[in-house]
């Protein structure tokens, strides 16, 4: 059991409610532990906490334009590695029209987020159709392959030595955010039976990040039935009903979709803006000093960021303050439209992430400078 030194205090000019009714002319900054679940303090500053004039060293915020990764890879295990640590690996995959082998990840559960495209996924358990915006969770060592009907681009997130689970929704109840009844599982349907046969089939197996190949004289996706409580599941982001509060800007943790060992996956989907005049209507400045934060921008208008387009990814390592860009900050309390219009996938990693070689090749130069505000004298 954790016993933090906790004793709420107030000093100087402050609001009594986080993220609302800030003292005039101030900017709020949250310093927190354990993501947004632990003890926290809110400070009120005269200047934007991201108003730096320069950045030096490796801790700077990073941005990567993954849309510039144009190479197609026959196997998901050849996909461009973007970020990784001992608990999670993120890869960006432009899939072939049809895989000529089966893939099997023995290192951990695989989460496929379909950024673009549509098609069919075949696995041990049967057949699933997929489209843009789908999450597909494949339990560890599931054999699978895809056939694309439209060019398919995916973000692959491996839960290394771990399992994807649903978050504890607490007092919201099990049906909030999305009802588990909307989760789809593979079917042993006509399409699945039609792909069975005696053709020689290779299975590429990844274990300890090394590849092995097992060859069968038949297609091993030959199940005639199954029963149990372990299976791939599919969830489309359009089925997510985000939490909203008209008087309080909710932290990213309120949008948690999946949890694994030492990281979580959150999903941002369109929602109404806060309507209380005193409530912040943009993400608050914060020090998330226990997690590295990653955002993959899927579609829409990314209201808290400037010069971000679909297919980009940002990395904000723990250890510095971050928050809305200057243009977004101008709309901190008044928004020109009633709701957000963005879809994004967020990963919060408890352990520091390393940057893969492919990401270095598409890094957006000067991203750390995008928070700088030009002063009148300049």
3 is catalytic: no
Pairing of strands 102-105, 201-207: parallel
- Please pick, among 249, 255, 316, 325, the residue that the annotation labels catalytic: 249
Residues 360/91, Cβ–Cβ less than 8 Å: no
Which two tokens mark 17?
């409610």
Number of alpha carbons in the 13 Å side-chain half-sphere of residue 41? 11
Look at residues 141, 317, 291 and name the one whose alpha carbon lies nearest to residue 231.
141
Which two tokens mark 343?
């879809």
Residues of each annotated binding site: 286, 292, 322
In angstroms, the CA 378 to CA 370 distance is 16
Residues of each annotated binding site for Fe cation: 286, 292, 322
Three-state SS for 110-146 is EEEEEEEEEEEEEECCEEEEEECCEEEEECCCCEEEE
Residues of each annotated binding site for homogentisate: 322
Residues identified as active-site: 249
């Amino acid at each position: 059991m954790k016993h933090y030194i906790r004793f709420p205090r107030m000093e100087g000019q402050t609001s009594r409610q986080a993220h609302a009714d800030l003292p005039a002319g101030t900017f709020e900054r949250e310093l927190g532990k354990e993501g947004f679940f632990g003890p926290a303090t809110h400070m009120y500053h005269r200047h934007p906490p991201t108003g730096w004039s320069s950045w030096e060293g490796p801790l700077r915020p990073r941005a990567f334009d993954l849309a510039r990764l144009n190479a197609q890879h026959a196997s998901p295990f050849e996909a461009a590695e973007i970020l990784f640590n001992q608990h999670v690996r993120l890869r960006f995959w432009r899939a072939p029209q049809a895989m000529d082998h089966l893939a099997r990840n023995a290192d951990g559960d695989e989460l496929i987020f379909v950024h673009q495209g549509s098609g069919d996924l075949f696995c041990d358990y049967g057949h699933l159709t997929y489209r843009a915006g789908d999450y597909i969770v494949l339990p560890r060592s599931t054999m699978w392959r895809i056939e694309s009907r439209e060019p398919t681009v995916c973000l692959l997130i491996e839960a290394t030595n771990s399992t994807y689970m649903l978050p504890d929704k607490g007092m919201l109840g099990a049906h909030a955010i999305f009802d588990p009844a909307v989760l789809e599982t593979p079917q042993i349907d006509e399409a699945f039976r039609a792909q069975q046969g005696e053709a020689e089939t290779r299975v590429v197996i990844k274990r300890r990040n090394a590849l092995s190949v097992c060859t069968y004289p038949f297609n091993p996706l030959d199940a005639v039935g199954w029963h149990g409580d372990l299976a791939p599941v599919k969830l489309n982001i359009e089925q997510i009903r985000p939490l909203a509060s008209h008087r309080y800007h909710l932290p990213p943790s309120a949008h948690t979709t999946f949890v694994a060992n030492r990281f979580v996956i959150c999903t941002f989907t369109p929602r109404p803006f806060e309507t209380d005049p005193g409530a912040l209507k943009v993400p608050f400045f914060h020090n998330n000093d226990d997690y590295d934060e990653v955002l993959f921008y899927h579609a829409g208008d990314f209201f808290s960021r400037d010069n971000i387009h679909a297919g980009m990814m940002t990395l904000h390592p723990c250890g510095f303050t971050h928050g809305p860009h200057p243009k977004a900050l101008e709309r901190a309390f008044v928004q020109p439209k009633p709701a957000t219009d963005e879809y994004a996938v967020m990963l919060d990693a408890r352990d520091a992430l390393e940057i893969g070689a492919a990401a270095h090749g598409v890094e957006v130069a000067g991203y750390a400078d995008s928070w700088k505000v030009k002063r009148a004298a300049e």
